[in-house]
Amino acid sequence: MSANSAFNDEKGGSSSVGEPEYGHDPASGGIFSSDYKRHDDLKEMLDSNKDSLKLEAMKRIVAMIARGKNTSDLFPAVVKNVACKNIEVKKLVYVYLVRYAEEQQDLALLSISTFQRGLKDPNQLIRASALRVLSSIRVTIIVPIMMLAIKEAASDMSPYVRKTAAHAIPKLYSLDPEQKDQLIEVIEKLLADKTTLVAGSVVMAFEEVCPERIDLIHKNYRKLCNLLIDVEEWGQVVIINMLTRYARTQFLNPNMNESLLEEGSDKTFYGSDEDEDEEEEEEKDKKAEAPAMAKRKPYVMDPDHRLLLRNTKPLLQSRNAAVVMAVAQLYFHLAPKAEVGVIAKALVRLLRSHSEVQYVVLQNVATMSIKRRGMFEPYLKSFYIRSTDPTQIKVLKLEVLTNLANETNISTILREFQTYIKSMDKDFVAATIQAIGRCATNIGEVRDTCLNGLVQLLSNRDELVVAESVVVIKKLLQMQPEKHSDIIKHMAKLTDNIQVPMARASILWLIGEYCEHVPKIAPDVLRKMAKSFTNEEDIVKLQIINLAAKLYLTNSKQTKLLTQYVLNLAKYDQNYDIRDRARFIRQLIVPTEKSGALSKYAKKLFLALKPAPVLESPFKDRDHFQLGSLSHLLNAKAGGYQELPDWPEAAPDPSVRNVEVKDSVPEWTKCSSREKRKEKKVEKPFYSDSEGESGPTESADSESDSASGSESGSGIEESGSGSESEESEEGSESEEEEEEEKEKDKKKKKKELKKPVQESESEQSSEEEERKHERKSKQRKSESESESDEEEDSESESSQTESEDSESEAEVKKKKKAAESKPPSKPVKKDNKKEKKEMSLLDLDDFEPAPSPQATPVNSFLSNSLATDLEGLSLSDAVLSPATISPSSALKSYEMLHRITGEGLSVEYCFSRQPFSPDANMVAVQMQFTNNATSDTKNLHMEDVKLQSGMRVKEFPEIELLPAGEMVTAVMGIDFCDSTQAANFQLCTHTRKFFVSIQPPVGELMRPVFLTENEFKKEQEKLLLGQLMGMNEITEKITLDVKCRNEHSIVQRVITAANLSRVPCGSDKECSPPVPPPDHPVHRFAGRTVTSSSLVLVTVATKEEGAAKLTINCEKMVIGTMLVKDILLALTQ
């Protein structure tokens, strides 16, 4: 036999075809007989210099290892090949080495130098696998080498190698726990790593090596929260579990206020099992210091606590059951009661998964459903049992159903139970009967119904069913025995048939206990039992003795002899328990001279009133174990289980989680990086959360700012995109907030802010100028304010921001669409340019706008002509009224560089509103350089342009010489990407550099387009009925300035504020709706944003006495709101 199997091995150890001896138990294989022979040929193959032979040999060896055969004698031959060039051979040698190194330590050392070489390999995969194997070789001697290798790998360039280093840490720790301190240092270092790849592994190392060092997490807490969504799923599980523990030590119990409020009412409402132990303890404390508690300020959730809850919530949608469970337990342990409900749906979903998953999930649901019954009530039907479920699943579902039962649903549940009782699975039937019993004890109204049902079951043919019913009935009867003597009688009859010991014992106990209710039957039962005493099981015998004793005490006349008889039988029983019991009872009840004082009290001892048993769920109080853990499942502490700490009385200092920003970023770069992310999101919006407040993220934000900065430098990986998109939202959100703030504080701030502005501007304080500056500084201020306000506001604003988020998403989408639709429009534009001259010459006279404002000569001419070009082209066949053309506006100029700061050089810029010929997507900015100094300025050019991603700049050509006192203009183009973010750059002369920035008013970010009134209305409708109804329209009621109540001035002011073209109205023939009454004309303006060509539609509907309604339709909410403000200002002042 043994020789035979060895022979087989010899012939075909390879892995190609299934061999007959596979199924064979390898332990009985003939290792001894032909070992040498067999391994000789393998050795030969390994020694050959052909890779294919080596590979073949290694494959056979690995196949043997897989079957659990001992191949340790090949160690020397195999280890030689550790440096083999063939990567597959190498890998298989690694497999072998890791398996046997612990047994053959000396020989294993031979391979170490190869790995050390591998650690320096330029290929990151080889570096990583070298470290993996090196750290897996469990040889104590190489601990220092491993330590060194881990330290080195922890600062490797490749995140993959760093991940491997994190994996190696627990390996080394299990080999030599003395290294703990050094390893903690490495863990600390790796915890600071910002890549998602490393995060999961290092937290795992942390959990294995130093779970008690919770202080290491502080600095990384926010980062981990933000990265979480992009970490691979296994890492997510580990991190979430760790963060649950962390949160329990750092934050306050979110439910403590509730428990305070509900203190009295809780019990009456929800029944006693609703109470939590912790709460009870707390309550005790509370009573002691009740007055103090009353004064305690209301609970405010730590923003970091909120951050954790918010960032884990989307993971409930994960496909990985372990992740879903991890989030569920986090919510169960950490979330305010009102929010825990969200996990129910996800958990119920998991019930569709493999039966093993169901098993674990149901265990946890069972525990949860005791405390938070309401959470699962809507899903009651999901726990209905199918005949195909495995028994263990059925029993667990039953448990959940029982926990969920209450007055309202008990009737449906009982109906379900009725079908279960007919099941073929007897274990399940037994469990159902117990469940019925529990329902009956918990819900008083159905107790009688249940009891009757159970009594009916007593006539069931299946003995198991009857026995189980008896046991349950016994428990129920104990609650109100007087009422049910007929049931007791009925059960007494059953003793003839029922054979299950537990049931017999229960019946006997019942009869004994309530012998007064059945005075006639009880002695008779005892008589029968005495007869069969010797054949009974032990528990039955004990109950017979009990019954006898009780009857002796109550009805000694009839039963004295019987009792004597039973006691005599028991005296000689084989079981010492029974003998002891008999002796004890005889002494107690039968009065003799010797019997002491005790016998007087025998009646009290035996016939004392016994409290009814409480039928409890086996899952009660299991939640002191962290849910989802192995310990919870087994209801016993598993090795390495970390206790879930109780909430702290007072929260530890939250500032420990603050991370100092390494390089303090000026306000604008912060904005810009946000903006950059926003742009990125257009390409890769990953998961991110929807609701928001930004207390903690504000700082987390800046932290990962520096992170992405440093990492994009290395260019290998991108830092967690989840956090990025997350933050981009913060960006947009705070933008919104800014605006709100702006509105709120407008009046207040205006006064305050004007002063400093005016100081700096001594010369040109035109109104526009002022306004613009105001805006700038307001923005800055409101930003800082909003940061501080956010903590309070956050809660109330979250719902609002949600809608805003969705809006920004829509924006992104539309941007895409718009971008697609753009290309075809380009050629048209080019044509325009070619024809520009003739067209403008021809048309200018015809289409001269009625209200022709004064304009800066050069620019107005050009921009005007463009507008006319466009109109002329698009409307070549339409009849135009003379008043249809967009009148050009007076151009506002802004100061870029004041002559004092510029040391004589002053620069102003204006938006010329003409197309920027090199790139149609750019806004043309015209700059006027004036040299007020006494010396010439040379080499004027720009440098170091700092832009958000997506923004582009076309620099103006270098101005070689600007003589003293002269003035020169230059034009540059900026693509602002439809945002009002500033473009920052340095203006360089031959001697100096000045930091300057150009910030466009929102009105300059668009170009006029021509629409007829009908088209205008159609577009407006489209925008309104589009994806996000109503989001695209902003309406404002205004009172027009006294000076601007005629058509002319309204048009002029609007067009000054924004680069739009007027839509002809009223006189148009094709206009289907009736012409608006001439005394309340409606003015319409249209334009498109420069970069994404989204339509911007402005309507000013005038009413009597200067009242008017301003409506702006634009897909871009931000542009729309800003534009409203600008136009509002223009019209009211």
Partner 1 sequence: MIHSLFLINASGDIFLEKHWKSVVSRSVCDYFFEAQERATEPENVPPVIPTPHHYLISVLRHRIYFVAVIQSEVPPLFVIEFLHRVVDTFQDYFGVCTEAAIKDNVVVVYELLEEMLDNGFPLATESNILKELIKPPTILRTMVNTITGSTNVGEQLPTGQLSVVPWRRTGVKYTNNEAYFDVVEEIDAIIDKSGSTITAEIQGVIDACVKLTGMPDLTLSFMNPRLLDDVSFHPCVRFKRWEAERILSFIPPDGNFRLLSYHVSSQNLVAIPVYIKHNITFREGSSQGRFDLTLGPKQTMGKAVESVLVSSQLPRGVLNANLNPSQGTYTFDPVTKMLSWDVGKINPQKLPSLKGTMSLQAGASKPDENPTINIQLKIQQMAISGLKVNRLDMYGEKYKPFKGIKYMTKAGKFQVRT
Residues 349-378 that bind partner 1 (CB under 8 A): 349, 352, 354-357, 359-361
For partner 1, the binding residue among 3, 290, 598, 634 (CB under 8 A) is: 634
What is the Cα–Cα distance from 589 to 601, expressed in whole angstroms?
A: 9
DSSP state string for 512-551: HHTTTTSTTHHHHHHHHHHHHGGGS-HHHHHHHHHHHHHH
- With b for 16 or more beta-carbon neighbours within 10 A and e for fewer, the 799-828 pattern comes to ebbeebbebbbbbbebbeebeeeeeeeeee
Query: Minimum distance between the CB of residue 59 and partner 1, rounded to whole angstroms?
Result: 5
DSSP state string for 178-190: GGHHHHHHHHHHH
692 contacts 309 by C-beta, under 8 angstroms: no
Query: Minimum distance between the CB of residue 436 and partner 1, rounded to whole angstroms?
Result: 17
Contact set for partner 1, span 302-331 (CB under 8 A): 314, 317-322, 324-326
Residue 16 binding partner 1, by CB under 8 A: yes
Residue 1132 binding partner 1, by CB under 8 A: no
> DSSP character for 452?
H
Query: Smaller CB distance to partner 1: residue 9 or 1126?
Result: 9
Contact set for partner 1, span 155-194 (CB under 8 A): 158-160, 164, 167-168, 170-171, 174
Query: Minimum distance between the CB of residue 215 and partner 1, rounded to whole angstroms?
Result: 22
Contact set for partner 1, span 409-438 (CB under 8 A): 416, 419, 422-424
Query: Smaller CB distance to partner 1: residue 4 or 317?
Result: 317
Token readout for 4 is 């035979």
What is the Cα–Cα distance from 527 to 566, expressed in whole angstroms?
A: 9
Contact set for partner 1, span 897-956 (CB under 8 A): none
Burial class (CB in 10 A: 0-12, 13-18, 19+), 110: middle
Residue 270 binding partner 1, by CB under 8 A: no
Query: Minimum distance between the CB of residue 130 and partner 1, rounded to whole angstroms?
Result: 13
CA dist 955 → 85, 668, 788 (Å): 55, 21, 39
**Number of chain positions touching partner 1 (CB under 8 A):** 126
Contact set for partner 1, span 724-753 (CB under 8 A): 725
Token readout for 44 is 């030969």
Closest CA to 655 of 85, 133, 221: 221
Query: Smaller CB distance to partner 1: residue 128 or 1112?
Result: 128
Query: Smaller CB distance to partner 1: residue 625 or 647?
Result: 625
Query: Minimum distance between the CB of residue 1003 and partner 1, rounded to whole angstroms?
Result: 29
For partner 1, the binding residue among 254, 437, 453, 685 (CB under 8 A) is: 685
What is the Cα–Cα distance from 646 to 626, expressed in whole angstroms?
A: 11
For partner 1, the binding residue among 303, 512, 628, 849 (CB under 8 A) is: 628
Contact set for partner 1, span 249-268 (CB under 8 A): none
Q: Identity (one letter) of the amino acid at 981?
A: Q
Per-residue binding string, partner 1, 951-990, x by CB under 8 A, is: ----------------------------------------
Per-residue binding string, partner 1, 808-827, x by CB under 8 A, is: -xx--x--x-----------
Query: Minimum distance between the CB of residue 333 and partner 1, rounded to whole angstroms?
Result: 14
Per-residue binding string, partner 1, 752-791, x by CB under 8 A, is: ----------------------------------------
What is the Cα–Cα distance from 470 to 511, expressed in whole angstroms?
A: 12
Contact set for partner 1, span 211-240 (CB under 8 A): 229-230, 232-234, 237
Query: Smaller CB distance to partner 1: residue 482 or 683?
Result: 683
What is the Cα–Cα distance from 1116 to 1031, expressed in whole angstroms?
A: 9
Contact set for partner 1, span 467-506 (CB under 8 A): none
The span of 117-125, 295-303, 853-861, 1017-1025 binding partner 1 (CB under 8 A) equals 117-125
143 contacts 179 by C-beta, under 8 angstroms: yes
Query: Minimum distance between the CB of residue 778 and partner 1, rounded to whole angstroms?
Result: 30
Residue 85 binding partner 1, by CB under 8 A: no
Q: At CA 1033, angle to CA 1031 and CA 1038, rounded to 5?
A: 135
Residue 224 DSSP SS3: helix
Query: Minimum distance between the CB of residue 979 and partner 1, rounded to whole angstroms?
Result: 20
Q: Please, which residues have CB within 8 angstroms of residue 188's CB and are 6 or more apart in sequence? A: 216
For partner 1, the binding residue among 182, 257, 460, 800 (CB under 8 A) is: 460
Query: Minimum distance between the CB of residue 89 and partner 1, rounded to whole angstroms?
Result: 8
Query: Minimum distance between the CB of residue 241 and partner 1, rounded to whole angstroms?
Result: 7
Contact set for partner 1, span 687-716 (CB under 8 A): 687-690, 716
Contact set for partner 1, span 504-543 (CB under 8 A): none
Query: Minimum distance between the CB of residue 244 and partner 1, rounded to whole angstroms?
Result: 11
Residue 49 binding partner 1, by CB under 8 A: no
For partner 1, the binding residue among 80, 345, 579, 836 (CB under 8 A) is: 345
Residue 684 binding partner 1, by CB under 8 A: yes
Per-residue binding string, partner 1, 1003-1042, x by CB under 8 A, is: ------------------------x---------------
CA dist 123 → 94, 114, 117 (Å): 17, 15, 12
Query: Minimum distance between the CB of residue 1086 and partner 1, rounded to whole angstroms?
Result: 27
573 contacts 582 by C-beta, under 8 angstroms: yes
Whether the CA torsion 998, 999, 1000, 1005 is positive or negative: it is positive
Residue 717 binding partner 1, by CB under 8 A: yes
For partner 1, the binding residue among 201, 801, 860, 906 (CB under 8 A) is: 201
Neighbouring-strand partners of residue 1099: 1084, 1111
Residue 67 binding partner 1, by CB under 8 A: yes
Neighbouring-strand partners of residue 937: 962
Residue 12 binding partner 1, by CB under 8 A: no
Q: Where are the alpha helices (DSSP H) in 422-532?
A: 426-442, 447-457, 463-477, 485-494, 501-513, 521-532
Contact set for partner 1, span 540-579 (CB under 8 A): none
Token readout for 405 is 């039962």
Query: Smaller CB distance to partner 1: residue 19 or 621?
Result: 19
Query: Smaller CB distance to partner 1: residue 685 or 1001?
Result: 685
The residue to which tokens 């049992």 are assigned = 385
Residue 1067 binding partner 1, by CB under 8 A: no
Query: Minimum distance between the CB of residue 807 and partner 1, rounded to whole angstroms?
Result: 8
Query: Smaller CB distance to partner 1: residue 102 or 276?
Result: 102
What is the Cα–Cα distance from 9 to 30, expressed in whole angstroms?
A: 9
Q: Please, which residues have CB within 8 angstroms of residue 286's CB and are 6 or more apart in sequence? A: 260, 263, 293
Contact set for partner 1, span 838-897 (CB under 8 A): none
Query: Minimum distance between the CB of residue 51 and partner 1, rounded to whole angstroms?
Result: 6
Query: Minimum distance between the CB of residue 775 and partner 1, rounded to whole angstroms?
Result: 30
Give the 3-state secondary structure of 709-748.
Answer: HHHHHHCCCCCCHHHHHHHHHHHHHHHHHHHHHHHHHHHH
Query: Smaller CB distance to partner 1: residue 164 or 926?
Result: 164
Distant-in-sequence contacts of 385-394, Cβ < 8 A, 24+ apart: 385/416, 385/420, 385/428, 387/423, 387/424, 387/425, 389/355, 390/355, 391/425, 391/427, 391/428, 392/359, 393/355, 393/358, 393/359, 393/362, 394/425, 394/428, 394/431
Query: Minimum distance between the CB of residue 121 and partner 1, rounded to whole angstroms?
Result: 11
Residue 391 binding partner 1, by CB under 8 A: yes
What is the Cα–Cα distance from 794 to 780, expressed in whole angstroms?
A: 20
